[in-house]
Amino acid sequence: MMTQKEYPRIVSQPKYSFFLFGPRGVGKSSWLRKMFPETLYINLLEEKTYQTILADPEQFTLRLATLKRGDTVVLDEIQRLPNLLNEIHRHIEERGLRFVMSGSSARKLRRAGTNLLGGRAIRKELFPLTREELGEDFTLSHVMNYGSLPLIWTTEGDREVLETYVQTYLKEEIQAEALVRNLPGFARFLPVAALFNSSVLNAAALSRDAGVSRTTVLGYLDILDDTLLTFRLPAYEGRLRVKEKRHPKLYWSDPGIVRATKKTFGPPAPEEYGHLFESWLVSVLRAYRSYRNLFDDWNYWAPTENSRLEVDLLLWRGKECLAIDIKSSKKYRSEFSKGLRALNENWKGKKPTRNVIIYLGSERLKTSEGFEVLPLTQFLDLIEQGQL
């Protein structure tokens, strides 16, 4: 891939103080330096800076003393010194300073008893690169194999970079921040959790396969969410004529990360490809929800009576619902409509506004039930143009 190339990001910066969260390697520091070139920049990943302020917090206050009202201060990796938030709060209130704070986890901030500045700083997130950001460099095959973290697209050695990424995550995110007591147990848990990508969570099965207790597994899952490697999609719990599943689905934030965690490289097998494709597209929608308010809320739907029937996504905007099924096939087959058909047959009240099947073919189709069948490229066009 191309080296030393910068890709424009579509995240916008608020006018006021904000937190910028995102997993390691997503490009937070690069974005901050580009957006705030003339501001006071304090990088808490620099060991000298970190140790200086850790030993004498007054050094932080002294750095702010020369600033005037309305000036901006950038603090990279704020979770390393969460106690600074009290002083930051004071400077926002009394001096009108603007703070931009990045981190790969809000877990330590919450654990330290802080309240993320009591609403005086909003939360923004940065995600892996989208097709819109990659532009003409985008290839689905490379994203499925290695993901779309900026570090993959701007350095050489995709596999080596991803293997190092997982090792660094365990060493610097988990061990250094003391997020778990049993590091070997967490290391065993990771590849097992990766096998559940795009699947309904089964804590008992995860516990059995990882060799740790169910309570421990639940704590580990929270750590994956808090460090932004994974997220969970809740089941729809509306008033349907059948009982829905209540367990959420687990998604990893990037195909490259989940494959490296499993130590799986090379072209994905068909079964793995389907899960990777689904999780990637769901992650893209999550990014656009954050960047451009694409929708208000989301769920998946599946009746307990038939575990094979499922609708991957229900996207809500107000009371309107867009139902989406994701298929990693280049050819449409009539069986692809089963989930949407079951959903509409069992829906009580106003039915979904639109029913869409996304696939890898090139033709836009419509089923006998009126369901839209959209090629991935056209679906991404609609997302990027804000016309979904």
For 200-222, what is each residue's pLDDT tens digit?
999 999 999 989 899 999 999 99
Does 302 score more than 90 pLDDT?
Answer: no
Worst-scoring range by mean pLDDT, 100-109, 114-123, 294-303, 318-327? Answer: 114-123
Which tokens go with 19? Answer: 């937190």
Whether 297 is in a domain gets the answer no
Whether 210 is in a domain gets the answer no
Does 167 score more than 60 pLDDT?
Answer: yes
Does 2 score more than 50 pLDDT?
Answer: no
What is the C-alpha separation between 55 and 78, in angstroms, rounded?
Answer: 16
Tens digit of each residue's pLDDT (9 = 90 or more) over 41-72? 999 999 999 999 999 999 999 999 999 999 99
Does 37 score more than 70 pLDDT?
Answer: yes
Whether 288 is in a domain gets the answer no
Which tokens go with 4? Answer: 């030393």
What is the C-alpha separation between 149 and 25, in angstroms, rounded?
Answer: 6
One-character DSSP codes across 265-324: -SSPPHHHHHHHHHHHHHHHHHHHHHHH---SEEEEE-BTT-TT--EEEEEEETTEEEEE
What is the C-alpha separation between 53 and 57, in angstroms, rounded?
Answer: 5
Q: Are 247 and 299 in contact (CB under 8 A)?
A: no
Instruction: Find, among 86, 99, 85, the residue nearest to 15 by Cα.
Output: 99
Whether 147 is in a domain gets the answer no
More confidently predicted of 16 and 308: 16
What lies within 8 Å, CB to CB, of 177 at 6+ separation is 79, 105, 108
Indicate the pLDDT class of residue 183, thresholds 50, 70 and 90. confident
Which domain CATH number covers 45?
A: 3.40.50.300
pLDDT value, residue 306 = 59
pLDDT value, residue 3 = 45
pLDDT value, residue 4 = 59
Does 241 score more than 90 pLDDT?
Answer: no
Position 373, amino acid? V
What is the C-alpha separation between 261 and 272, in angstroms, rounded?
Answer: 14
Q: How many domains does the chain have?
A: 1
pLDDT value, residue 326 = 98
pTM assigned to the model: 0.92
Tens digit of each residue's pLDDT (9 = 90 or more) over 336-358? 999 999 999 988 777 899 999 99
pLDDT value, residue 92 = 93
Domain assignment of residue 30, given as a range: 18-125
Whether 75 is in a domain gets the answer yes
Taking residues 270-280, report their average pLDDT: 95
What is the C-alpha separation between 359 and 343, in angstroms, rounded?
Answer: 19
Worst-scoring range by mean pLDDT, 286-300, 302-316, 317-331? Answer: 302-316
Whether 105 is in a domain gets the answer yes
Q: Which residue has tokens 């009290």?
A: 86
For residues 63-98, b (16+ Cβ closer than 10 Å) or e, as one string?
A: ebeebeeebbbbbbbbbbbbebbeebbebbeeeebb
Does 179 score more than 90 pLDDT?
Answer: no
What is the C-alpha separation between 48 and 315, in angstroms, rounded?
Answer: 46
Torsion of CA 33, 37, 39, 43, to 10 degrees: 30
pLDDT value, residue 106 = 77
Instruction: Find, among 121, 56, 124, 125, the residue nearest to 92 by Cα.
Output: 121
Whether 68 is in a domain gets the answer yes
Taking residues 79-83, report their average pLDDT: 89
Whether 307 is in a domain gets the answer no
